[in-house]
Structure 1
Amino acid sequence: MKLPWDKNNNSKGAESANNDASSNQTSTSTSVAHKAESDQPLPKGYTPPKGRPTPKRREVELERGIVGRQSLAPAESYSQQRQKRKELKASMSKEEYKAYKNKERDARLKRQREAQAAMDRGEEAYLMDRDKGEVRRFARDWIDARRFASNFVMPVAIALLVVMLVGNFYPEFAATASIFAMLLMAVFFVEGISTGIRVNKAARAKFPETTETGFALGYYAYSRSVQPRKWRTPRARVEVGAEV
């Protein structure tokens, strides 16, 4: 039963209900709008904020050394690199530039050591062109598994220098040493020809479709045999006497 004095209360309740409904509708439309905005694709090149200031290029280069600038080096001429180095030096204090140079040197030495270690291990990506390929790897192993008189070429060459110096005071000794040296050179020459023939025969038996020329492969094998075992690069992978 509706009383006359309840008219104002009912109107107030209706107004509050209408206000609640409108506020709910507004919040719903706002959430829908936010959701629609979130579903829209972000513009190209948009990056969210990092929450920290972007470091300066000079600070990055000082931290990373030459490694951070290496990708720019091939596209720049020597004069451009020199000009950039001058500008970099001018933008730094004496202590900062000294620290940068030290880091640059340490990074360069580290890369050189890593590359040399990889070359010693025989990793294909770090080898010189003359050492690449399975045929050349087989030739190295074939040489490393054997002993040759040519292993003493370098010690003999050093001894000949000493003989030449001593020969100025002892001509008779120099004449005898010269004959002995000529015999050794003949032995080395004959062994070099024999080594080239044998390594070519073994390589072609293992790799029938190889395109290596006989002279190039033979010379490569002999040039390795004249080096002392510990000086060879890549390092020997097999022991003397191993089956290859």
Structure 2
Amino acid sequence: MFRRSSSEPTTPTAPEKVGGKGRPTPSRKEAEAAARARAKVPRTRKEQAAAQRAARGETSQKMRQAMKTGDERYLPARDRGPVRRFIRDYVDSRFSFIELMVPLLVLSMVLGYSGSDRLIRLGNTVLFSTILVIAVDILMLRFRLRREVARRFPGESTKGITFYAALRSLQMKFLRLPKPQVKIGEKLPETYR
């Protein structure tokens, strides 16, 4: 007969599963109860409105979190995709005169309301100079960005990228959504797929 030695373990140990779900599998009874609860149709308009409000709240919470982290799954459709991510990174990695626009416009407004003709003319000069420099900066952004998108994403449509990049660059960096993922002057990766 076969005898077990005292040094052998009496119960076999299962190897640890890597990447498991981290919780026990629910029993059939629990799974069916959860499925019934999810499939339960609201009986009143009040219950239906509460369910819709909860779903909207959950979706908007995921979207707000994605705007902070850059998670592609929950971003709005206008911000999804590798081309849009590259455009955001391209705009965020360059310093532009546009970021100084708001302080210069406030300065020109203060000078305009000063009452002195000389200061009003100076304010107008600052205002029109700012607008001219911003227009030149956006044109330079357009040509450079289109060249980079054509090089990195051959065959992709360039429709709407100038408008998307210009709107992003007109915002001050700390107010941009989705939040910037790169710093000014940081080298961008070659692939975004």
TM-score, normalised with respect to structure 2? 0.65
Is residue 152–residue 226 contact of structure 1 (8 Å, CA) maintained in 2? no
Distance 2:58 2:83 in 1: 31
Match for residue 67 of structure 2?
119
- Count how many residue pairs are aligned between Structure 1 and Structure 2: 150
After superposition, where does 1:11-160 map in structure 2 within 5 Å?
A: 66-67=50-51, 70=52, 112-160=60-108
TM-score, normalised with respect to structure 1? 0.52
Is residue 163–residue 174 contact of structure 1 (8 Å, CA) maintained in 2? yes
Is residue 107–residue 123 contact of structure 2 (8 Å, CA) maintained in 1? no
1:167-202 CA deviation, whole Å, 9 max, x = no partner? 4x2222011121122122111111110011101111
Match for residue 26 of structure 2?
none
Distance 1:147 1:154 in 2: 15
Letter in 1 for 2:121: A
Distance 1:222 1:184 in 2: 15
Distance 1:157 1:117 in 2: 32
Q: 1:65 to 1:219 in 2, by over 3 A?
A: closer
- 1:236 has 2:180 as partner: yes
Letter in 2 for 1:233: L
Distance 2:132 2:156 in 1: 31
Distance 1:114 1:130 in 2: 16
Distance 2:87 2:71 in 1: 16
Q: CA deviation at 1:224?
A: 1.1
Distance 2:106 2:55 in 1: 37
Q: 1:127 to 1:196 in 2, by over 3 A?
A: same
Larger radius of gyration: 1
Q: Identify which of structures 1 and 2 has the higher relative contact order when contacts are C-alpha pairs closer than 8 Å and 6+ apart.
A: 2
Q: 1:173 to 1:232 in 2, by over 3 A?
A: same
Letter in 2 for 1:223: L
Distance 2:62 2:163 in 1: 29
Q: CA deviation at 1:65?
A: 8.0
- 1:194 has 2:166 as partner: no
The structure richer in helix per residue is: 1
Identity of matched residues, %: 25
Q: Structure 1 residue aligned with 2:126, among 150, 171, 180?
A: 180
Distance 2:69 2:180 in 1: 9
Q: 1:206 to 1:111 in 2, by over 3 A?
A: closer
Corresponding residue SS for 2:100: helix
Corresponding residue SS for 2:137: helix
Q: CA deviation at 1:223?
A: 1.7
Q: 1:113 to 1:175 in 2, by over 3 A?
A: same
